[in-house]
Structure 1
């Protein structure tokens, strides 16, 4: 194996652009729809006009590329130097719709900017509070992230939640063929091709969906060749209540970033993350989210599906994933590229991602094994997961609580699991009765 190919599986080392491009593109395709969907939903919910909506979609691609580059190639202490892909977070969506609907987009953007500064500052002082998150807590959070992603993959496999053909035979066929192509490539291919199993599956599924008439190319017509990102499309306004609500959700986002960083290091790099790496990842999460606000977008965060992709492919080279980040930025500057990527059917993405999400679960199980299966750890893991996953699936479970509690916890199992795991770790005696 040549050095350039071996470097794909190392953090550092130069990979020829021709080899780096398909692997970088694989990361973009894995997260592209999830990156633009929160902005599309927000724009529709608050009634933004089509021109502003289109500009925000461009901006979220640019900011995802910038955030990923900062994670890969840090600026001061902002950025972990790990192969983490950043994108617009779903975690903030319901709160963003609520704030923008009640107070306007300016108030939402002001809260995003201030909240990002708070999270970024927390990242700078991570060594003072990271002891609250020992290995068993990280393992529990990573497992919760894996579980939380499974319905997303399943919904995509069936055609996308709310689609008129949801669960149709055509979606089952395309999703199954895509998944089978990924699986066969992962099991039987060797070397370079095996690491591209997700991209191979995506190409196979996309070609099949074209033959089945499931691809709509109508959005490609009328696209301008080039359009520069629009900075400050909304004038920031600052409302204390909105800021406090958004800051609370930023803490959840920091939790997810810690979990993703732990999962990435344990699954793809075969080691535990350093305290500095987790703090720097959180810094990027926060400070770049403030920049996202300047672009009129909601906060960004680490993307768990790309952690799963790194675990499956083994490709962790920073330059290679940086090529993918540049593709995202180019997609934001050249609207026709972004429009072309949106033609990928949801069933194809579901077929590609379902196994990737499962790999995050596997990483969580591995972390639990390393933490040990003591009686104390069993209580922390089992109670946190059962309540976190169970309570957030029961509609109306949090109805008696104030709105800010419902916003943070009602539909976010990762937040509930994290809070319970931290509290149980603090209050349970170090040796539970019955342990040797």
Structure 2
């Protein structure tokens, strides 16, 4: 009888990882939290390294910002999981430093200085946060087909990120080398084989298994650089206002535009997560809280001199692939991020993960987001109106950003916002089409209805 009860309890805890609010033992939760952190760690610190370098920050300043980024990302993730008032969605969203702002910051930093970036992030974050709180007044503009098109574009935009990591990381000296091909392939095969052979909930740890195998192989091949660990302090507390905010009108205007783009990505991420992880539509309250969290946490990030925080699409892909939505399990990952920020040596060790290993794990995850978006489009029905909105917005958004020179006739600020950001273009085009196309366009009966007839 006792053994039966233990087995029943074990099965219940396994099933709970697929439930938003299920009770999961700490020992079972930590691997899933760690899997999320390893999937986003490199992408979380890369924007700081890029923007810091372009803005002329010292290596010591950049290191302190990376430390702050881990703590803020952890706090932001906890608030998304367990909302404070109306801030946070209550969904298994993982937060991190946004790549969306990199191009505009690489323009503002050298032109106006890093302090102007901090000031613009503070103002822009508050603007997005307030927009999130009042989302119920404008969220109706984001119809299901608009959200589906944005989600699909997010998936497509990430494919090149995964491929770049697989090759060794954009700008690396040995990009596309045999070493990186071997590491990426071994990691990818490890994920697939583990997912096929593993039993029960262990199947959902295929990404973590692939990362571990890839990392071990990388160490054996001698391509893991441990030099960054020397001289790294064990414990450190980030400082408040390491950079005094400067409020430059041009910088603030351009950054607010990007915050609006970031909000659309958050809407897409939140919609995709609800659809793929919970098999339902996202609620207006969840979307509002998610956007508000993005904005206000970004404003808090600027207080620590850091860059904007947003929902991470790669982690949405991980949820879509594993179906693990338990908030407590993902919260353990947020705590790991905070620990990595307080103990820099821990973060420095995670940072030694080679890009090729990460790329091998993310290819399937990013592809899953594309499929989720296509499923959302299918659920909207294949009416002539929906087909026109999805087809035209995706073809313009993805097509035009493949040849960014096409935006050269526009002012520099507009070019920086849209030239390489297909999600922003897809959002704008789909919103315009959704507003101007007649509601009574000739419709095509959805496939399911045809079969029923």
| 1:37-436 → structure 2 map (5 Å cutoff) | 37-433=46-442
Distance 2:295 2:131 in 1: 9
The verdict on how the C-alpha distance between 1:337 and 1:434 changes in structure 2, with shifts beyond 3 A counting, is closer
The question of whether the paired residues in 2 share the 8 Å contact of 1:82 and 1:318 is answered with yes
Instruction: Tell me the CA shift for residue 395 of structure 1.
Output: 3.3
SS in 2 for 1:231: coil
TM-score, structure 2 normalization: 0.95
Q: Return 280-289 or 16-25, whichever deviates more.
A: 16-25
Q: 2:6 matched to which residue of 1?
A: none
SS of the equivalent of 2:310 reads strand
Runs of 4+ in 1 over 3 A off after TM superposition: 433-436
Query: What secondary structure is seen at the aligned counterpart in 1 of 2:402?
Result: coil
CA contact (8 A) 1:96 1:298 kept: no
Tell me the secondary structure at the aligned position of residue 279 of structure 2.
coil
TM-score by structure 1 length?
Answer: 0.98
The RMSD of aligned alpha carbons is 1.1
Deviation (angstroms), 1:2: 2.2
In the alignment, the residues of structure 2 paired with residue 347 and residue 400 of structure 1 have an alpha-carbon distance, to the nearest angstrom, of 37
User: Measured at CA, do residues 435 and 225 of structure 1 come closer, stay the same or move farther in structure 2, by a change above 3 Å?
Assistant: closer
Q: What secondary structure is seen at the aligned counterpart in 2 of 1:301?
A: strand
CA deviation profile, 1:162-186 (whole Å, cap 9, x unmatched) = 1111111111111111101111222
Task: State the 1:86 CA deviation.
Answer: 0.4
**What does residue 19 of structure 1 align with?**
28
How big is the shift at 1:434?
A: 6.7
Residue correspondences, number: 436
Supply the distance in 1 between the matched residues of 2:389 and 2:103 (Cα, whole angstroms).
29
Going from structure 1 to structure 2, the CA distance change for 1:203 and 1:218 (only over 3 Å counts) comes to same
Unaligned 5+ segments in structure 2 are 1-9, 446-453
How many angstroms apart in 2 are the aligned matches of 1:393 and 1:311?
27
Q: 1:432 to 1:224 in 2, by over 3 A?
A: same
Distance 1:172 1:49 in 2: 33
Between 1:317-326 and 1:101-110, the stretch displaced more is 101-110
2:41 to 26, 32, 39: 32
CA spacing shift, 1:408–1:395, aligned 2, 3 Å: closer
Superposition deviation, residue 64 in structure 1 = 0.6
Shift of 1:402: 0.8
In structure 2, C-alpha distance between the alignment counterparts of 1:390 and 1:312, rounded to whole Å:
27
Q: CA deviation at 1:371?
A: 0.2
Secondary structure of 1:396's partner?
Answer: helix
CA drift at 1:435: 5.3
Match of 2:307, SS state, is coil
Q: Separation in 2 of the partners of 1:300 and 1:321?
A: 17
Judge conservation of contact 2:383–2:442 (CA < 8 Å) in 1.
no
Residue 405 of structure 2: SS of its match in structure 1? coil
In the alignment, is the contact (CA less than 8 A) between 1:146 and 1:360 conserved in 2? yes
The alpha-carbon deviation at position 431 of structure 1 amounts to: 2.2
Describe the SS at the equivalent of 1:81: coil
Q: Is the 8 A contact 1:231 1:294 kept in 2?
A: yes
- Residue 432 of structure 1 and its aligned partner are, at CA, apart by 2.1
Aligned equivalents of 1:24 and 1:42: distance in 2? 28
Maintained 8 Å contact 2:19/2:324:
yes
**Displacement of 1:218:** 1.1
Deviation of 1:84 (Å): 0.2
8 A Cα contact 2:211 2:361, kept in partner = yes
Q: More deviation in 90-99 or 253-262?
A: 90-99
